[in-house]
Amino acid sequence: MKIQFAPLNIPLRRRLQTAAVLQWVFSFLALAQCCLAGYVLLCVSDWWVLAALYAGWLYLDRDTPTSGGRRSEWLRNWSVWKHFRDYFPLNLIKMVDLDPGSNYIFGFHPHGVLVAGGFGNFCTEASGFSLLFPGLTPYLLMLPFWFRVPFFRDYIMCGGLVSSEKASLSYLLSAPRGGNVAVVAIGGAPEALDARPGALTLQILHRKGFIKLALKHGAQLVPVFSFGENELFDQMTNPTGSPLRWLQDHLQRLMGVALPLFTGRGVFQYSFGLLPYRQPIHTVVGRPIPVVQTPSPTKDDIDGLHSLYLEGLTTVFEDNKDNYGIAPDKHLHFI
């Protein structure tokens, strides 16, 4: 394989963009393991008292990931996120204004390999969420497992990440004055296994838990489609029924974490690596779907609202695909 190396005279701003994305990829793929290893080393060192004190803190703070987390506006406004935004670049687009007096569930599609659009738009202020949606506070839901990792949990909560447990979503949607936005990657980890350039398949037909909670709390549903999310990485061919896909599905059910075998570009060459390609991401926030609070929704209530959500998501995609290079004959495929 011929390797295409990056030129030496790349401007400093592009080097900074690459560095920003490199630290994000490291945080996503390896920081949790490093934090866990650091904690274990602390336990067996002369500083074990600090480890014991932190263990006590973990116990006292155990409910925070399901109670809105502990965000830091200082961290969300770090300059590094502006370089992260400009690497792709990343854009957040709204179709309509949203009333800050209501609570919302943003259904984020597609999941992609690393949810770059979800992180950049809703866990940082790089794309100007607070300016586009004044009075609203976004929370990106993440697998509960990660909030059990020492130190790492505190870092990710600073960005507005919270546990994806039912209790966590209910807490956000129960805010009496409104203003909370729970961002849920509806396809979840399994959808990451189908994330590759050109893919428009969404795992959503049997995912109705968020619909039920929206009805119980009267939270409005907002479909969000992130154009370009699946263009960031290539992935090894893994069709349904193949040995690789069987293994990936088995590990995903066992650990709760998808393991896509993906590749992108490197730091000093463009042929392979774990950095995403420089492809633009346009995250479009659709029109809200009004929801009447129903404390005990029936199956028909859930199915009816789910159908409306699918229609709203399709509308977001079809109304915007021409703007972002999607061919007219390409359409979403729901499974």
pTM of the model: 0.95
Q: pLDDT grade, residue 2 (50/70/90)?
A: confident
Question: What is the average pLDDT value for the chain, to the nearest integer?
Answer: 96
Average pLDDT over residues 49-65: 97
Is the pLDDT confidence value at 5 over 90?
Answer: no
Token pair 């939270």 is found at 219
Is the pLDDT confidence value at 256 over 80?
Answer: no
**What is the pLDDT, as a whole number, of residue 251?**
85
C-alpha to C-alpha distances, 324 to 56, 58, 160, 252, 279, nearest whole angstrom: 50, 45, 28, 32, 11
Is the pLDDT confidence value at 257 over 90?
Answer: no
**What is the pLDDT, as a whole number, of residue 180?**
98
Is the pLDDT confidence value at 1 over 70?
Answer: no
**What is the pLDDT, as a whole number, of residue 186?**
97
φ/ψ of residue 289, rounded to 5 = -105, 115
Q: pLDDT grade, residue 254 (50/70/90)?
A: confident
**What is the pLDDT, as a whole number, of residue 67?**
97
φ/ψ of residue 198, rounded to 5 = 90, -10
**What is the pLDDT, as a whole number, of residue 97?**
97
Identify residue 260 by its one-letter amino acid code.
Answer: P
Average pLDDT over residues 297-314: 98
Average pLDDT over residues 11-33: 96
**What is the pLDDT, as a whole number, of residue 8?**
86
pLDDT digits (tens, 9 = 90+) for 201-223: 999 999 999 999 999 999 999 99
Token pair 């179709």 is found at 95
For residue 103 the two structure tokens come to 């609570």
**What is the pLDDT, as a whole number, of residue 149?**
97
Average pLDDT over residues 234-250: 91
Three-class SS of residue 36? helix
Among candidates 62, 230, 221, which has minimal Cα distance to 157? 62
Taking the C-alpha atoms of residue 279 and residue 232, their distance in angstroms, rounded to an integer, is 6
Average pLDDT over residues 32-58: 97
Q: pLDDT grade, residue 12 (50/70/90)?
A: very high
